[in-house]
């Protein structure tokens, strides 16, 4: 059986051991003398540092990408929440503005109602208004069940806006003073001028200027812009004394033979969310 170690092998191992110890000892002595790491340690450090850089490069890249993606997703979620809050804020502002407009209209109607002492009134809300008939009619939420009858005058926040033209059980159709159909709203009015009253009738509506037109004027008294215009009660279609508007301008017809009076309606006919119906027998 062969010996595990021969004498020659033992000698080589001992010499190698002594060499390694000597190198380590010399390196430490040199490191202490020069304040630099031993050669062996520097070699190990260099190898370890290189391996670490190789390993850390893709790891750092992946980490950076992951952080960027996470930040992007967070920004997206935050942006979505902010947009949602902004939309909610805009909706709240619109609702608040609508309520403020309705509140102002109702306050004006209270003052108007107080002036209509000769008539009972019914408050109603506009429930339908088609774009195709915007200038001519609307539908309110009160009908025969509330005592509404055909021909009753309908008022906005400051004055006359039209008449009841159709009555159902729980709703009614209102024909506006701005309806330019033939003979729809040819009711008699009076201009309260400084030199006396001037009578006439509503004959037309100027869509471009949004003004009522008064024709068939027989009197010669002066009429000036700003003069008040009310219903005269003549003809039986409207009760007397309901405010229609004020004179906007005075012109002559195409032949220069008679005057044309343009009237600014007292109520904004484009914004009629709430109305008052005067319960009269006139025009029924």
Query: What share of the chain has pLDDT > 70, as a percent?
Result: 60
| More confident of the two residues 20 and 140 | 140
**Confidence bin at 186 (pLDDT 50/70/90):** confident
Do residue 68 and residue 164 come from a single domain? no
The pLDDT of residue 1 is above 50:
no
185 is a domain residue: yes
Rounded Cα distance between 112 and 43, Å, is 101
Do residue 247 and residue 148 come from a single domain? yes
283 is a domain residue: yes
The pLDDT of residue 113 is above 60:
no
Nearest Cα neighbor of 231 from 242, 216, 221 is 242
The pLDDT of residue 281 is above 50:
yes
Query: What share of the chain has pLDDT > 90, as a percent?
Result: 20
Provide the domain count of the chain: 2
CA triplet 118, 122, 125: central angle to 5 degrees?
A: 145
The pLDDT of residue 263 is above 90:
yes
Helix (H, G, I), strand (E, B) or coil at 151: coil
Do residue 71 and residue 183 come from a single domain? no
pLDDT digits (tens, 9 = 90+) for 189-226: 999 988 888 888 888 899 899 999 987 676 778 889 99
| More confident of the two residues 116 and 147 | 147
pLDDT at 242: 87
User: Domain containing 263 — which CATH number?
Assistant: 2.40.10.350
Do residue 223 and residue 251 come from a single domain? yes
pLDDT digits (tens, 9 = 90+) for 21-32: 666 666 566 556
| More confident of the two residues 172 and 81 | 172
Do residue 105 and residue 130 come from a single domain? no
| More confident of the two residues 259 and 1 | 259
Q: What is the mean pLDDT of the chain?
A: 75
Domain that holds residue 75: 38-115
Cα 50 vs. chain centroid, distance in angstroms?
A: 64
59 is a domain residue: yes
pLDDT at 180: 77
Helix (H, G, I), strand (E, B) or coil at 189: strand
**Confidence bin at 138 (pLDDT 50/70/90):** very high
Of 78-82, 164-168, 211-215, least confident by mean pLDDT is 78-82
CB atoms within 10 A of CB 141: 15
Mean pLDDT of 55-76: 63
Rounded Cα distance between 73 and 27, Å, is 55
Do residue 171 and residue 46 come from a single domain? no
Nearest Cα neighbor of 184 from 168, 171, 201, 197 is 201
What is the pTM for the complete model shown?
Answer: 0.59
Rounded Cα distance between 115 and 215, Å, is 28
């Amino acid at each position: 059986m062969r010996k595990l170690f021969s004498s020659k092998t033992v000698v080589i191992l001992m010499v190698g051991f002594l060499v390694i110890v000597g190198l380590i000892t010399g390196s430490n002595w040199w490191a202490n003398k020069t304040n630099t790491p031993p050669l062996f340690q520097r070699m190990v450090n260099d190898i370890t540092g290189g391996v670490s850089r190789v390993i850390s490069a893709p790891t750092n890249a992946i980490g950076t990408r992951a952080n960027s993606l996470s930040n992007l997703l967070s920004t997206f979620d935050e942006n979505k929440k902010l947009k949602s809050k902004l939309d909610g804020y805009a909706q709240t502002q619109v609702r608040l503005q609508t309520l403020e407009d309705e509140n102002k209209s109702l306050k004006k109607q209270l003052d108007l109602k107080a002036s209509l002492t000769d008539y009972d009134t019914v408050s109603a809300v506009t429930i339908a208004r088609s774009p195709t008939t915007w200038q001519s009619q609307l539908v309110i939420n009160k009908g025969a069940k509330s005592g509404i009858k055909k021909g009753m005058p309908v008022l906005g926040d400051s004055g006359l806006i039209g008449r009841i033209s159709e009555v159902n059980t729980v709703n009614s159709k209102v024909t506006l003073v701005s309806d330019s159909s033939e003979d729809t709203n040819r009711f008699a009015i009076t201009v309260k001028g400084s030199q006396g009253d001037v009578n006439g009738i509503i004959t037309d509506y100027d869509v471009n200027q949004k003004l009522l037109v008064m024709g068939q004027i027989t009197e010669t008294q002066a009429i000036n812009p700003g003069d008040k215009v009310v219903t005269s009660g003549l003809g039986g279609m409207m009760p007397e004394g309901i405010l229609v508007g004020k004179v906007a301008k005075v012109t002559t017809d195409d032949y220069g033979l008679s005057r044309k009076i343009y009237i600014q309606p007292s109520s904004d006919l484009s914004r009629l969310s709430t109305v008052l119906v005067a319960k009269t027998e006139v025009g029924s």
